[in-house]
């Protein structure tokens, strides 16, 4: 089999494929058009997010048997086209769920305890104890939207804080247990003090958190987004922060990100407004991207691909 790596990933994936006797190519520097011209050669592709694989692109892949992406999101791959053509699509959300859950928990604690502001002020010689008094997680109700690998891992991390955990998932049911209570979206909006998003980016979820969504909340909340940036409409969030409808936000992903996740559009005024806010904790799309998760995502992906094609 001939396999092309379109992005740099953990070395163990290449090593495993070479051990199987597969012809492994690294096309990191090729453009989308250059790759398109060579697609007919390939039996498999490994990528992250650099290349958009829509039907126009994939129709040139006459021999393609599989696409593998370390991680969770598949928004850059036309999964329906792949299913129609019999192209297997593999991902490995099991590998970065723990990293994401820890990161989201850390961001929330940082927000609740004003650690961003307090750290900056102490470094500047300011000693403001009263102004930086924080809030406890204990006793709060945390609502999780999307209860897949990421949502469940986040719930397990928070369980030890003695919070009340509720979760809504449009496409999953029967997951309520001793850790989390399954609820409707309406019930979640009614009761949650914190709302954390763990949904994939689809036509349905794009812009889900908008002015109408935020206006429908029964009381002010804290918002966490470690899913995908376009799930939250930035302008609606900023307006809600100003009005007090949202008390604070933890954002690892942004509506203004490039499709490859490697940059944000610096010219966007809304990004500067987020940076200027003491009520927002920001990180550069790294919630699921630890040293350990990179290796684990590769491990799970290797297992899935070799189970199907390794014999």
Does residue 164 contact residue 141 with C-beta atoms inside 8 Å?
A: yes
Choosing from 10, 50, 198, 228, the catalytic residue is: 228
Choosing from 285, 292, 295, 303, the catalytic residue is: 285
CA–CA separation, 84 and 74 (whole Å): 16
- Strand ranges, E, within the chain: 2-5, 23-26, 44-46, 66-69, 88-91, 141-145, 164-168, 181-182, 194-197, 221-225, 246-251, 280-282
The number of beta carbons lying within 10 Å of the beta carbon of residue 242 is 12
Q: H or E element: which one contains 106? A: helix 97-112
Choosing from 34, 257, 265, 291, the catalytic residue is: 257
* Residue found by looking up tokens 């593998």 in the block: 68
* Residue found by looking up tokens 């929330």 in the block: 108
Q: Is 186 a catalytic residue?
A: no
Q: What is the DSSP string of 182-212?
A: E--HHHHHHH-SEEEE-----TTTTT-BSHH
Q: Is 41 a catalytic residue?
A: no
Q: Is 257 a catalytic residue?
A: yes
Instruction: Give the helix, strand, coil percentages of the chain, each rounded to 5.
Output: 40, 20, 45
Positions marked catalytic: 228, 257, 285
């Amino acid at each position: 089999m001939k396999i092309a790596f379109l992005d740099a990933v953990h070395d163990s994936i290449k090593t495993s494929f070479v051990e199987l006797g597969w012809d492994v190519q690294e096309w990191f520097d090729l453009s989308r058009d250059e790759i398109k011209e060579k697609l007919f050669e390939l039996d498999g592709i490994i990528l992250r997010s650099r290349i958009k694989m829509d039907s126009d692109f994939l129709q040139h892949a006459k021999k393609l048997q599989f696409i593998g992406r370390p991680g969770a999101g598949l928004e850059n791959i036309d999964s329906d086209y792949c299913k129609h053509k019999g192209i297997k699509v593999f991902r490995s959300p099991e590998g970065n769920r723990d990293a994401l859950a820890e990161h989201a928990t850390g961001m929330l604690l940082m927000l609740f305890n004003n650690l961003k502001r307090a750290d900056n002020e102490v470094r500047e010689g300011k000693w403001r104890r009263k102004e930086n008094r924080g809030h406890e997680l204990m006793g709060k109700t945390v609502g999780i939207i999307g209860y897949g690998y990421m949502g469940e891992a986040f719930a397990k991390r928070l369980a030890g804080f003695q919070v009340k955990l509720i979760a809504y998932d449009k496409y999953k049911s029967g997951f309520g247990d001793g850790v989390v209570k399954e609820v409707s979206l309406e019930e979640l909006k009614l009761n949650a003090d914190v709302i954390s998003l763990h949904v994939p980016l689809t036509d349905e979820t794009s812009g889900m958190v908008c002015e109408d969504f935020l206006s429908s909340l029964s009381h002010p909340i804290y918002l966490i987004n470690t899913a995908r940036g376009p799930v939250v409409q930035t302008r609606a969030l900023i307006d809600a922060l100003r009005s007090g409808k949202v008390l604070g936000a933890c954002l690892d992903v942004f509506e203004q990100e490039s499709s490859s996740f490697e940059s944000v559009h610096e010219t966007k005024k809304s990004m500067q407004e987020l940076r200027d806010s003491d009520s927002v904790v920001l990180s550069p799309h790294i919630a699921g991207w630890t040293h350990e998760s990179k290796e684990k995502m590769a491990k799970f992906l290797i297992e899935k691909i070799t189970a199907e094609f390794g014999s």
